[in-house]
Amino acid sequence: MRAAMLYRINQEIKFLYIKKTKLSEQLYRKHLECSAIWLTIQDIIGHNLQEEIESHYEKLNKKLDILQQKWNHYTTHMDHQNKTSTYPRTINLTNMVHSGGTGAPGPGTSIQHAETNHFYVDKPRTRDRTGH
């Protein structure tokens, strides 16, 4: 009885080993078939992606061209109309005149308001004994 069980177990192991070998061969053949097909699939995917990218960039380039034409038309029209650059110049509306030794505002200079002729003098700070 024991010999019959060992014989049956050995036969089952042989059968399973042969089955595993055949399945491995089938898997290998399918893998080779898929690798041959993959090159054509990869080319199709690459071609489709390239078309999508080209159409996307065409749309972006058209938008940029339109914006660039609008910008060039607007700045050219404004330049011919005003004969100025794109940015307007800065105008000082404070109506104050600086006077002093160095010509630059700071300690020891005075600021004269043009309409009232009042002078406001900035005196240099003097330090007390504490150093402040």
Q: What share of the chain has pLDDT > 70, as a percent?
A: 55
Which H or E element spans position 120?
strand 119-121
**Which residue has tokens 């100025």?**
84
Q: List, for residues 24-81, the tens digit of each pLDDT value.
A: 999 999 999 998 898 889 999 999 999 999 999 999 999 988 888 887 776 655 555 5
- Domain chopping of the chain, boundaries: 1-91, 92-123
Over 50: is that where the pLDDT of 1 sits?
A: yes
For residue 98, give the nearest of 121, 68, 77, 132 by alpha carbon.
121
CA distances from 58 to 41, 72, 111 (A): 26, 21, 60
**Hey, which residues does 130 pair with through a beta bridge?**
none
Cα gap 29→35, rounded to integer Å: 10
Mean pLDDT (whole number) for 1-27? 95
Q: List, for residues 71-121, the tens digit of each pLDDT value.
A: 777 665 555 555 555 566 666 667 666 555 555 555 555 555 445 544 444
Q: What share of the chain has pLDDT > 90, as a percent?
A: 39
> What's the pLDDT score for residue 82?
56
Q: Is residue 101 a contact partner of residue 108, using CB atoms and an 8 Å limit?
A: yes
Greater pLDDT, 128 or 93: 93
Cα gap 101→111, rounded to integer Å: 12
> What's the pLDDT score for residue 67?
87
